[in-house]
Amino acid sequence: MACRLASSVCHNVALEIGGSTASGTWLGPYSGEVLSEEELDERYPPGVRSEYVFEAGGGVYIDARDAALSSWHRYMNHSRRGFNVHVGAIVEPPPFSERPMPQVQLRTVAAISPGQELLLNYGDSYWDPDDAVMDDFGAAG
């Protein structure tokens, strides 16, 4: 699937789709370095923002801060109301694996036209309760 980075009205960059995509299309896994909760806390102590961390469940996190270890999914911006991408599945690792390696699979939930930005609702747990949650237009909501 062809995607490109573009400028965004509300964010620094936007991830745009290159061709028409139907609703329900699998976009692939959100990839990056797999961290335990302890490793995450060590890497991002209080007051240090983790820009590209996705909670995979079970105390496992995927950190896509290193572009060499991650996929293009890290560039998707947040939208609470206008999202067109959703977590389609969290694939659990085999029970015999030494280190959990879950996969967070993303899929479209609406038809997307060429040049349209891919948007994902990061969820309530993304926002710090002490911070004002921003709505889709950058105003506190």
Q: Which residues contact 34 (CB under 8 A, 6 or more apart)?
A: 56, 60, 61, 62, 63, 99, 100, 101, 102
C-alpha span between 105 and 128 (Å, rounded): 24
Residue-wise pLDDT tens digits, 1-51? 676 667 766 666 766 777 888 999 888 888 899 899 999 999 999 888 888
| For the chain, domain boundaries | 3-126
State whether CATH 2.170.270.10 applies to domain 3-126.
yes
**Sign, CA torsion 81/85/58/67:** negative
* Band (90; pLDDT cuts 50, 70, 90): confident
Query: In terms of pLDDT, which residue wins out, 103 or 99?
Result: 103
